[in-house]
Every structure is written in C-alpha cells, then in structure tokens.
C-alpha cells in the first residue's frame, strides 16, 4: 500500500497448539495460543499513526463424545482480552464462547 511503512506488520508472530484426550477419547481438550509483537501502523499519506499492542490470543475447546456420531462441545476464543484489535482501524474483538451439539446422522 502506498504510504504505509515497513513496520505495518509484527516482526514476531507465531503460535502453539496442544491436545489431550482422556477416558478412551471420550473427553478431548484442545488449546491453541497465538502471539504477535506490538507494531506501528504508519500511514504517511494521511499522517496517521496507530500502535497495535502485543497480544496473546488463546482458543480453548472441550469436547465430550457421547457416542460415535454425537458430541457436546464448549469453545472459548480470545478469552483474555476485551475489545482487542489485531489490525488498525478494525473493530475490536471481544471474547466469544460457544456451546454446541454435533450429531452425525450417517453414523447413528
């Protein structure tokens, strides 16, 4: 983009994921954590400067497999932040929680 400096993306970013199962794969836990270093968004054509702070963004899912074709799950996304922004001028992201039931009609 014309007028946007090189610092418009974080210099360090990455993530890690881990899964754990117990009770013969009846209960599953999955944790993913993403990280990015703070960075400055400098748009010289409009004389705008915006700093995105360093962030750690976690995603956590618990699943209970009731039968081979059905499961119950709970998901928590971005639960450590409130009004978190990953990009300049974007809307803030708040924590998101989901409860759900999956049913595979072809297996039941």
Rounded Cα distance, 33 and 56, in Å = 7
* Of the candidates 100, 58, 53, the residue with the CA atom closest to the CA atom of residue 79: 58
Output the pLDDT for position 18.
97
Output the pLDDT for position 107.
64
- Please list the pLDDT of the chain residue by residue as tens digits (108 residues): 555 555 667 888 899 999 999 998 899 999 999 998 888 887 777 777 788 888 889 999 999 999 888 999 999 998 887 777 777 777 778 899 999 999 988 865
Grouping H, G, I as helix, E, B as strand and the rest as coil, residue 44 is helix
Output the pLDDT for position 7.
62
Pairing of strands 55-67, 70-77: antiparallel
* Of the candidates 8, 98, 14, 11, the residue with the CA atom closest to the CA atom of residue 56: 14
Output the pLDDT for position 40.
82
Residue 30 C-alpha from the chain's centroid: 12
pTM here is 0.72
């Amino acid at each position: 983009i014309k007028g946007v400096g090189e610092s418009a993306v974080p210099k360090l970013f990455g993530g890690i994921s881990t899964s754990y199962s117990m009770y013969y794969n009846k209960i599953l836990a999955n944790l993913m954590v993403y990280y990015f270093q703070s960075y400055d968004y400098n748009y010289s054509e409009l004389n705008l400067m915006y700093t995105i702070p360093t962030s750690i963004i976690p995603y956590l899912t618990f699943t209970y497999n009731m039968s081979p074709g059905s499961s119950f799950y709970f998901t928590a996304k971005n639960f450590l932040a409130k009004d978190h922004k990953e990009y300049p001028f974007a809307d803030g992201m708040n924590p998101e929680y989901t409860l759900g039931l999956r049913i595979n009609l072809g297996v039941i």
